[in-house]
Amino acid sequence: MNYFKEFEPIWADMDPNRHMRHSAYNDYGAQVRVAFFDEFGMGYQKMEALGVGAVLFREDVRFYREIRLGDRIKVDLQIYGLSPEGRFWNIVHHIYKNGDELSAVIRAEGAWIDLVKRKITIPPAEIVKHLNELPKSEDYQQITNHKKK
For residue 18, pLDDT beyond 80: yes
**Is pLDDT larger for residue 41 or for residue 112?**
112
Average pLDDT over residues 110-128: 95
pLDDT of 41 above 90: no
Q: Is the pLDDT of residue 148 over 70?
A: no
The CA distance from 22 to 124, in Å, is 34
> Span 2-11, mean pLDDT?
96
Nearest to 128 by CA among 29, 50, 28: 50
In a domain, 118, yes or no: yes
pLDDT at 97 over 80: yes
- Strand, coil or helix: what is 83? coil
Is there a domain that residue 30 lies in? yes
Q: Please count the CA atoms within 13 angstroms of the CA of 54 that sit on its side-chain side.
A: 22
- Residue 40 inside a domain? The answer is yes
Segment (H or E) for 65:
none
| Residue 48 domain boundaries | 4-138
147, part of any domain: no
Give me the phi and psi of 8, to 5 degrees please: -115, 110
Percent share of the chain, pLDDT over 90: 85
CATH code, domain with 17: 3.10.129.10
In a domain, 132, yes or no: yes
107 pLDDT higher than 90: yes
Please give the pLDDT value at position 145.
76
Q: Is residue 145 part of a domain?
A: no
- In this predicted structure, the answer to whether residue 108 has a pLDDT above a threshold of 60 is yes
| pLDDT given at position 40 | 84
SS3 at position 147: coil
Nearest to 28 by CA among 7, 55, 56, 14: 7
Q: Per the structure, how many domains does the chain have?
A: 1
Task: Round to whole Å and give the CA distance between 25 and 9.
Answer: 10
Q: What is the pTM of this model?
A: 0.92
3-state helix, strand, coil in the chain (%, to 5): 25, 40, 35
Q: Which runs of consecutive H residues, i.e. helices, occur in the chain?
A: 22-39, 44-50, 125-133
Domain contains 144: no
**Is there a contact between 104 and 63 (Cβ–Cβ < 8 Å)?**
yes
**With 80 as the cut, is the pLDDT of residue 83 above it?**
yes
- In tens, the pLDDT along 122-144 reads 999 989 998 998 999 999 999 99
